[in-house]
Chains A and B, each alone.
Chain A
Amino acid sequence: MSASSGAAMTRAYAPETAGPRLAASLLKGRLKYLISAACVALSTIMLLPLVASVLASLKSTQEAAAVPPTYFPHALSLDSYERLWNYQAGLPTYFSNSFGAALLTILFCLVLTVPAGYGLAKFRIAGKEMLFVFLLLGLIVPYQALLTPLFFLFVQLNLHNSLVGLAIVHTAIQLPFSIYVMRNAFEAVPRELEEAAIMDGCNSFQVLTQICLPAVVPAMITVSLFAFITSWNELLAALVIMNKDSSFTLPLILAAARQQTSIGGTDWGMLQAGITISIIPCMAFYLLLQKYYMAGFLNGAVK
């Protein structure tokens, strides 16, 4: 490697003729505009579906059912949101179910993986490698394959149709990633800090809460953010575990509304309103906490 790049370096000082250089810089200028144009086109294509959905959610009831569809709403109206608000058990119920499951998932993930990350990073444990692999079992067995026995278990434990049950499945999905992130975060806390605290007479729990915890807050935000997004968006487990109308989450009620065909057919305007409402929290948290999202994504997405 070093030999070949060394050879390249010597060639770098070889004289160049002006002609090709000029042509190259012209080409480079044109290329810059081409790349910019491609970026603008790509961004437009990616954003169009989202914009179209938000616009469609603001159409009046008649316009939302127009054939062929209109590109832009002729007049803005909140009709679709009003129908969604009152649909079946009502949007507040579904929204709070989704939010409740997501909050419980965050809580379970933190309660389980903060101490686990601390234990794995800072203590000598017999067979730690094996233990770590076992904790990542959820990576090896996809939860989709475990839903049949989990459903049976939850029926026995009376956890079906309960937000706690749903949050348990969502926690099981997120656990391997969360443990991985928390362990790495605790490993990065300098040992000198703990040793000083132990000298001062702190026990291991005090070291965790007073010394380590402040240092791993970013990792806890990452874990919470991913737990929220997973739980908020998850469909299959919710479909299996929640089969009472009033216990549905947002994705469930939207999927059910799509299948429900009344005399007027699917209520497209209301569906668009539902899509918009379910996208907003994800987008908001992602944009606000982008730094934490990317940290988790780049470290854990393919590990």
Chain B
Amino acid sequence: MHTGTSRYVGLLYVAPALAFVLVFTAYPLVQMVWMSLHNWSLIAAKKYVGAGNFIKAWNDPQFWMSLEFTLKYTALITPILMILGYLIALLTVENRPLRQFTRGVVFAPVVIGLGASSLLWYWLFSYDFGLINRILMDIGLIAKPVVWFGADADLSMWAVIVSIVWKVVGFGTILFVAAIHAVPSEIGEAAMVDGASYWQRVRLITLPLTAKTILLVTLVSVIGSLLAFDQFYIMTAGQPRNMTATSVFLIYLNSFPYLKLGYGAALSLILAGIILVCTMLQMLLSRRSHA
């Protein structure tokens, strides 16, 4: 482009990034496959076990429990995030001061850390020190404090879901608002003149014309939920009885405190495969939206 001799010059500029990806992403990926075929720890000599780690996962009740819990968490939180995010987008879509302010406030928790927000909500949900039990008792909804993070895994999960909805609902809202703004306003005005009610216009015009964004945000959200870790590490610590240990949590437990690196790598590979399906869908969709 610059001159005829610049055929390799371009590559020179890309080379550092290329080397970085090779060493710190591609090589670990290959290493992960290799590790998953071995009994691998930091101390003892590694031993080739073939598909042994995968068979072990198949027969490991904790593997299935973690996978099932992660899928259940994803299946429950995704529709809540999408519907609530879209409703808030519809509420605040017009560029007026109060609505723009509300949009900004709803988005604010997205930029703070998941660790910090999880700690914050762990405190709010605390049995004796938390404000949520205090408020619920003051308005008479409950007679005595609720043990949110106790023996009931479902209750713990719902408490985590509340905290994550607070934390990330603004993510979808902002993208939905941008998508709704991109819908030509004449279409909505024309439908209004035709006598279509607000909800008819939302259903027949806004939703279909923002469908691609909804799908993309859904996929991003699904991937995020499938990779959930921080919120459970901090709020439930996987308890009770590792029932709220997500897939990433299980990888963490096996690889690091237990140092079963081979088994951890096998679990990682399985998770990477599941995520790959979602990512492929996402790339297909966003590629088509560029065309």
Contacts and interface: CB of A to CB of B under 8 A. Distances in A.
Q: Which of A113, A144, A240, A274 has the most CB of B within 10 A?
A: A144
B288 interface: no
Contacts of B152: none
B26 A137 contact: yes
B168 to A, nearest CB: 12
A40 B123 CA distance: 25
A39 interface: yes
A150 B32 CA distance: 9
Contacts of A8: 190-191, 193-194
Interface string B29-54: 10110010000101000000000000
Given A119-B12, A271-B123, A147 B255 contact: yes
A29 interface: no
A270 B78 CA distance: 33
Contacts of A148: 32, 35, 251, 255, 261, 264-265, 268
Contacts of A298: 174-175, 178
Which one of A12, A49, A278 has the highest number of Cβ atoms from chain B below 10 Å of its Cβ?
A49
Contacts of B114: 233, 235
Given A194-B2, A255-B233, A168 B24 contact: yes
Contacts of B83: none
Given A67-B129, A146-B25, A297-B174, A43 B261 contact: no
Contact of B130 (A39, A69, A144, A146): A69
B123 A115 contact: no
A194 B1 CA distance: 10
A179 B20 CA distance: 12
A254 B114 CA distance: 12
B256 interface: yes
Contacts of A175: 17, 20-21, 25
A49 B166 contact: yes
A139 B124 contact: no
A118 to B, nearest CB: 5
A103 interface: no
Nearest to B42: A155
Interface string B190-202: 1101100000000
Nearest to A139: B279
A119 B11 contact: yes
Contacts of A144: 227, 229, 248, 251, 268, 271
B105 interface: yes
Given A153-B28, A194-B2, A112 B115 contact: no
Interface in B99-148: 99, 101-102, 105-106, 108-109, 111-116, 119-124, 126, 128-131, 133-134, 137, 145
Most buried by B among A66, A142, A258: A142
B183 interface: no
Contact of B102 (A42, A108, A112, A146): A42
A146 B269 CA distance: 9
29 contacts: A39-B92, A39-B99, A39-B102, A42-B102, A43-B101, A43-B106, A52-B131, A68-B137, A115-B13, A115-B16, A119-B9, A142-B271, A146-B268, A147-B255, A149-B32, A149-B35, A151-B256, A152-B31, A153-B28, A168-B24, A175-B20, A179-B17, A235-B113, A275-B116, A278-B116, A279-B113, A282-B113, A286-B108, A302-B175
Closest CB pairs A-B (n = 4) = A123-B10, A119-B13, A233-B113, A8-B190
Interface of B: 1-3, 6-7, 9-14, 16-18, 20-21, 24-29, 31-32, 35, 40, 42, 88, 91-92, 98-99, 101-102, 105-106, 108-109, 111-116, 119-124, 126, 128-131, 133-134, 137, 145, 166, 171, 174-175, 178, 186-187, 190-191, 193-194, 213, 216-217, 219-220, 223, 227, 229-230, 233-234, 237, 248, 251-252, 255-256, 261, 264-265, 268-269, 271-272, 275-276, 279, 282, 286
Given A145-B32, A168-B24, 8 more contacts: A39-B98, A120-B14, A123-B13, A124-B6, A142-B271, A146-B28, A150-B24, A233-B112
Interface of A: 4-5, 8-9, 11-12, 35-36, 38-40, 42-43, 46-47, 49-50, 52-53, 56, 65-69, 71, 108, 111-113, 115-116, 118-120, 122-126, 131, 134-135, 137-142, 144-153, 155, 168-169, 171-172, 175, 179, 194, 198, 204, 207-208, 229, 232-236, 239-240, 251, 254-255, 258-259, 266, 268, 271-272, 274-275, 278-279, 282-283, 286, 293-294, 297-298, 301-303
